[in-house]
Structure 1
């Protein structure tokens, strides 16, 4: 089964894009607005400068991917870019397993990988995109200064 970009992203009609990245301001190089959300829960956002950034929920980083929306549109046609950041094989695997998304949902790890969750199908479930992005932003903000391998026992969410 071939997947399209629509299969690898979610419809943002029911998502409040103005506040989606509120818990990620600590990682933002500039103020930005959500432009696209992958089915796996990562966010592409455009900064005031016009640059497009990738907010990686697993790595806890926001990185530039394109200087402007035109360059971003070109990247969306690049199979390697799409494979690397949209995880089509995982989306297909989840769909084949009968795990589907409702409007406003993304696939998320029940136990986030940053908290030693496993990247296995039985640890992935549909979750509200706003909750997913918020929780990951809060977790990564709280652990960003810890040395690798630190055992995490207490995480607080707002």
Structure 2
């Protein structure tokens, strides 16, 4: 199956990008706005300083990937960068398994990895991008200070309007 960058990303039409990261404020090094959403629910966001960050919603980390937008655009043609951040082989597996995305959906884990889920195909589903990113931000904020290996039994998720 041939795959393009369009297959690895989602169109943000209809998504309020100014609100998308509201549940990630606790982790932001500076105010930022999403510039590219991956099909697996991660995203790239540009800060007010021009720096481009990778928001890893699975791991709960935000890190610098480029000092500005033009460097980021160059990275999008680097196969190693694309493989490391967009996981094309996983997208192919999901599509071959018949799991297709609708508008404003991303692939997500039914049980998040941080809560003990696994990264097997059986643990994948599709979710609304806004809901998924919000829930992941809330979960990671609640568990960020727990020691590794802590058993998590109670996570509270706020309603998303």
Report the TM-score range of the alignment, normalised by the length of the smaller protein: over 0.9
CA distance in 2, matches of 1:36, 1:16: 13
CA distance in 1, matches of 2:25, 2:119: 26
Q: Could you list the runs of 5+ residues in structure 1 that have no partner in the other structure? A: none
Shift of residue 146, structure 1, vs aligned partner: 0.3
TM-score by length of 2: 0.97
Deviations along 1:90-115, one digit per CA (max 9) or x if unpaired, are 00000001100000000000000000
1:139 is matched with 139
Q: Could you list the runs of 5+ residues in structure 2 that have no partner in the other structure? A: none
1:34 is matched with 34
2:117 is matched with 117
Q: Runs of at least 4 residues of structure 1 off by over 6 A? A: none
For these two proteins, the number of residue pairs brought into alignment is 158
The two structures, once aligned, show a CA RMSD in angstroms of 0.5
Shift of residue 58, structure 1, vs aligned partner: 1.1
2:102 is matched with 102
1:65 is matched with 65
TM-score by length of 1: 0.99
Q: Helix, strand or coil: the match of 1:147?
A: coil
2:22 is matched with 22
Shift of residue 2, structure 1, vs aligned partner: 1.7
